[in-house]
Structure 1
Amino acid sequence: MSCRITELVLDCVDVERQARFWAAVLGYVEIGREDDGSIEIGPPQAGFGGLQPTLVLSPGGAPDRGKLPLHLDVNATDRDQDAELERLLALGATPADVGQTGEESWHVLADPEGNEFCLLRSRVAPA
């Protein structure tokens, strides 16, 4: 027996904004809302329990600053890294400095609330 990651939960100040941002980044759609104000987004036609985890944007306080113990890595599916970087910046991502040397093959970015994530170089097949 083993477990599988089915959802990732991100505490947010502005749940709607974060849901729009991450849905656009990942090509996800809204699949549900909870009474507590959470919004769950996931892959179209798959929803919860599919092969890809869903993302739950949950109301929370101001994000903690400093290095997070977990971050997301994303890869483009239909364009090269430079084109995907332009798209993510246009969606509201911002460059983040975590002490990189400039020689890395990835870009460190922050979502609209400052949560860091990395855009890796490889292109992967869509799910």
Structure 2
Amino acid sequence: MACRISELVIDAVDPERLAAFWSEVLGYVELGREEDGSIEIGPPDTGFGGPQPTIVLSPTTDPRPAKLRMHFDVNATDRDQDAELERLLALGAKPVDIGQTGNESWHVLADPEGNEFCLLRARLDPV
């Protein structure tokens, strides 16, 4: 038996803001809060332990050192890539130039705290 990812933990200057952003992006809901200010979000019907990992936004005052060494890739589930790009930008995502050629089939974006993520072209089933 192998492991599987159950949670992704992201340090956040403003966990509330990032929890709201990623909940809207992914259709997640708040699952819980810890005394340290951490907020866990995840799928509304499954929560922790389901087929999709939950996300824990953990408060930090440390500045982000540089480009992240890991990032999310997301895919639309109910619309094409262009429509999903418009939705993500309206939620507060910003386009980011990390040296793309302009011929990529994905868009590089950043969440409200500057964490890079990519919007891929393929549409996936929501489950």
Deviation at 1:63, TM superposition (A): 4.0
Which structure shows the bigger proportion of residues in strand conformation? 1
Deviation at 1:62, TM superposition (A): 4.1
Identity score, percent: 75
Deviation at 1:4, TM superposition (A): 0.6
Q: Which residue of 1 aligns with 2:111?
A: 111
Q: Which residue of 1 aligns with 2:34?
A: 34
**Bigger mean CA deviation after superposition, 27-36 or 63-72:** 63-72
TM value normalised by structure 2: 0.97
Q: Give 2:121's aligned amino acid.
A: R
Structure 2 CA distance for partners of 1:26 and 1:69, relative to 1, 3 Å: same
Q: Which blocks of at least 5 consecutive residues in structure 2 are unaligned?
A: none
Q: Give 1:83's aligned amino acid.
A: A
Show the 5 A alignment for 1:54-73. 54-73=54-73
For residues 88-120 of structure 1, what are the alpha-carbon distances to aligned partners after superposition, in whole Å with 9 as ceiling and x for unaligned?
000000000100000000000000000000000
Q: Which residue of 2 aligns with 1:81?
A: 81
Deviation at 1:2, TM superposition (A): 1.2
Q: Which blocks of at least 5 consecutive residues in structure 1 are unaligned?
A: none
Counterpart CA distance in 1 for 2:96 and 2:41 is 25
For residues 10-43 of structure 1, what are the alpha-carbon distances to aligned partners after superposition, in whole Å with 9 as ceiling and x for unaligned?
0000110000000000000001111110000000
TM value normalised by structure 1: 0.97
Structure 2 CA distance for partners of 1:88 and 1:63, relative to 1, 3 Å: farther
Show the 5 A alignment for 1:91-110. 91-110=91-110
Structure 1 residue ranges, 4+ long, deviating more than 2 angstroms after superposition: none
Is it true that 1:124 corresponds to 2:124 in the alignment? yes
Structure 2 CA distance for partners of 1:65 and 1:100, relative to 1, 3 Å: farther
For residues 24-71 of structure 1, what are the alpha-carbon distances to aligned partners after superposition, in whole Å with 9 as ceiling and x for unaligned?
000000011111100000001100000000000010124424221100
Contact 1:12-1:63 at 8 Å conserved across structures: no
Q: Give 1:2's aligned amino acid.
A: A
Aligned residues: 127
Counterpart CA distance in 2 for 1:125 and 1:58 is 29
Counterpart CA distance in 1 for 2:63 and 2:108 is 18
